[in-house]
Structure 1
Amino acid sequence: MSSSADGRSEGPQGAAASLLNGLRVLEAFRVDDPTLGVTDVAQRVGLHKSTVSRILSGLAEAGYVHRDQSTGRYRLGLGVISLAGPLLAELDVRRLAQGELEKLTKVTAETSALSVWNGMEAVVVEQIPSPQFVKHTAYIGTRYDRYESSSVRLFLAHLAAENVKSLLGSKQISRDPAEVLNDDVAAHLAQVRDDGFAINDGYTDAQEFGISAPVYDYAGALVGCVTLSAPRARIGQSDVPRLLTEVQHCVERISDGFGAHARSVDADIRSHAERGR
């Protein structure tokens, strides 16, 4: 970080700027849109096409992206795994959660996943898919940035109000004004925090249902969240309290692994049942 003559910060320069731009290019690739052209990437990261083209060429040489010779389009390469692998292997919350996620999926027969917060998105770092033929799944590395997502609202509920306002105001977290969750954001997130869970009852897609609950460490800090996902058509109103109970028990056990004190879920479940689905 350099400074101008008047003392103002001018941002990363030289090699640091090139590195950050390279990372931005890699982050442009998504699970739901894995193959991109130079123009696509340039539009997403806000850089000139010639700059993006040079960055992609360098990343291709290093094995971090792969170029399809027939189309000229790019996708992430296997080199990215070598970077992410050590992190995932050493991520404490992932190691502690895996066995509990397996138990959650076994007892509910639905997909369970663990997400962490990267500052602006919920990122899936572990998943146990439902054994059923029809299921809702998300690949490891999937990033969620919609307010209507249960995991996103769960994380936002634990952020300072000014951070939430900034994320929504900058559109880093998108919000559908026509969605049913059009009530006061601060009040809604306070309720999520007090309840200890967030529910996505068709808010992101008419066919999706999800319950997210927080994982805490010994200091009471949020370290991740567990989400149980299912096709919405399979979840009846009477199923919600049972599934919520299982999710809450799962996060309690994971939190206990971090030395957190277990919290009672009975009041939360009764409150949710009284409010209705």
Structure 2
Amino acid sequence: MSDTPPKDPGKRRRGRPRQGADADDFTDDRPFVSSLARGMSILRAFRAEDRMLGTQVLAERTGLHKTTVSRLLGTLTKLGYLRYMPEYGKYAISNQVLTLGYAVMGRFGFGELMRRRMEEIAAQGDCVVALSVRDRLDMMFVELIREPTAIYLSLNVGSRIPMAESAPGRAYLFAAPEKEREAVLKELAQHHGEAWQDHVEPALTASLDRMRRQGHSDSFGEWKPDHNAIGIPLYDPLTGDIYTLSVGGNASVLTPERLRKEHLPKLLSAAQDISALGGGPTE
């Protein structure tokens, strides 16, 4: 007979919500504030290429009623996260939002270490080095470094790329907890429709199998025909949140062999440095 005491069904399980979590991911024993979720959906609706957005576009992107969007815009503007542009009748993300990201990147010197490592990789030339996080069914660049001589796509910090076809996305899916990965795959299947079974899922499955054997993700002409990339997952030393570090560029210059020989060792070395960071939370 086991000496282990039975679990108390009334006891709340503590722990962080996973990255990219939505309202349906929370169980009844964890509080969920709908108004806060709607407010966050407004901020998430802004994309890197958006200078300003109006109420109608935000309502369409969030699925919220225009009246609700209007109230949330007023609150977010008063809090300083948005700026109202009266001459256009639209709203823009303010620099106050950057403070949230800097609070994360500054932890343990994470941001400084990553930038230094990324600059070392980019110095090899002809490549773009990116640090990414999951944003629903995309990966968003939170840091991007490239040499002026590199041939690259028009991507910047805040740009999003598709999860299933890209090296960062595949690295993230490989590292994600099983429950999260299964949920994301179901969403991806709905998002891609018929293309999912035709070619997206088989290519993704093959890539994840290769990552189990090779220790890194890849995307050779699958996201963009003339683009090659490899990537690895990184873990925040405190929260366990998943980042991905990737290097990519023009396929005619960055062949799979060159990526693995010249850039992969530096990616793996950066991952080792990050894993060595740590320390408990400060008061």
TM-score category of the 2 structures, normalised to the smaller one? 0.7 to 0.9
Kept in 1: contact 2:176–2:242 (CA 8 A): no
Give matches, 1:195-210, under 5 Å: 195-210=214-229
SS at the partner of 2:89?
coil
Task: For 1:251, give the aligned amino acid.
Answer: L
Matched residue, 2:113: 96
How far apart are the structure 2 equivalents of 1:124 and 1:107? 20
Task: Evaluate the alpha carbon distance shift between residue 175 and residue 108 of structure 1 in structure 2; reply closer, same or farther with a 3 A threshold.
Answer: farther
Query: Superposition RMSD on alpha carbons, in Å?
Result: 3.3
How far apart are the structure 1 equivalents of 2:180 and 2:247? 26
Q: Which has the higher contact order (CA 8 A, sep 6+)?
A: 2
Matched residue, 1:28: 45
SS at the partner of 2:38?
helix
Task: For 1:183, give the aligned amino acid.
Answer: P
**Are residue 255 (structure 1) and residue 271 (structure 2) matched?**
yes
**Higher mean Cα deviation, 111-120 or 22-31?**
111-120
**Higher mean Cα deviation, 111-120 or 95-104?**
111-120
Kept in 2: contact 1:226–1:247 (CA 8 A): no
Task: Evaluate the alpha carbon distance shift between residue 78 and residue 162 of structure 1 in structure 2; reply closer, same or farther with a 3 A threshold.
Answer: closer
State the shift of 1:45 in Å. Answer: 1.8
Task: For 1:255, give the aligned amino acid.
Answer: A
Matched residue, 1:149: 166
Q: Which of 246, 253, 258 matches 1:235?
A: 253
How far apart are the structure 1 equivalents of 2:171 and 2:105? 22
How far apart are the structure 2 equivalents of 1:105 and 1:214? 18
Relative to the length of structure 1, the TM-score reads: 0.74
Task: Evaluate the alpha carbon distance shift between residue 82 and residue 224 of structure 1 in structure 2; reply closer, same or farther with a 3 A threshold.
Answer: closer
How far apart are the structure 1 equivalents of 2:258 and 2:188? 35
Task: For 1:202, give the aligned amino acid.
Answer: G
Gaps of 5+ in 1: 1-7, 261-277
How far apart are the structure 1 equivalents of 2:46 and 2:231? 25
How far apart are the structure 2 equivalents of 1:223 and 1:12? 24
How far apart are the structure 1 equivalents of 2:139 and 2:275? 23
**Are residue 17 (structure 1) and residue 18 (structure 2) matched?**
no
Task: Evaluate the alpha carbon distance shift between residue 205 and residue 184 of structure 1 in structure 2; reply closer, same or farther with a 3 A threshold.
Answer: closer
**Higher mean Cα deviation, 157-166 or 99-108?**
157-166
Relative to the length of structure 2, the TM-score reads: 0.72
Matched residue, 1:244: 260
Task: Evaluate the alpha carbon distance shift between residue 259 and residue 45 of structure 1 in structure 2; reply closer, same or farther with a 3 A threshold.
Answer: closer
Task: Evaluate the alpha carbon distance shift between residue 28 and residue 91 of structure 1 in structure 2; reply closer, same or farther with a 3 A threshold.
Answer: farther
Among all aligned residue pairs of Structure 1 and Structure 2, give the percentage whose two residues are the same amino acid. 24
State the shift of 1:195 in Å. Answer: 1.7
Matched residue, 2:145: 128
How far apart are the structure 2 equivalents of 1:83 and 1:30? 17
Kept in 2: contact 1:121–1:173 (CA 8 A): no
Task: Evaluate the alpha carbon distance shift between residue 84 and residue 185 of structure 1 in structure 2; reply closer, same or farther with a 3 A threshold.
Answer: closer
Matched residue, 1:263: none
How far apart are the structure 2 equivalents of 1:259 and 1:166? 27
How far apart are the structure 2 equivalents of 1:172 and 1:43? 22
State the shift of 1:63 in Å. Answer: 2.4
State the shift of 1:117 in Å. Answer: 4.2
Task: For 1:235, give the aligned amino acid.
Answer: V
Matched residue, 2:208: 189
Matched residue, 1:113: 130
State the shift of 1:17 in Å. Answer: 2.7
**Are residue 166 (structure 1) and residue 183 (structure 2) matched?**
yes
How far apart are the structure 2 equivalents of 1:186 and 1:82? 37
Kept in 2: contact 1:151–1:212 (CA 8 A): yes
Kept in 1: contact 2:175–2:242 (CA 8 A): no
Task: Evaluate the alpha carbon distance shift between residue 257 and residue 231 of structure 1 in structure 2; reply closer, same or farther with a 3 A threshold.
Answer: same
Task: Evaluate the alpha carbon distance shift between residue 249 and residue 73 of structure 1 in structure 2; reply closer, same or farther with a 3 A threshold.
Answer: same
How far apart are the structure 1 equivalents of 2:220 and 2:31? 42
How far apart are the structure 1 equivalents of 2:39 and 2:65? 13
SS at the partner of 2:121?
helix
Task: For 2:52, give the aligned amino acid.
Answer: T
Kept in 1: contact 2:167–2:218 (CA 8 A): yes
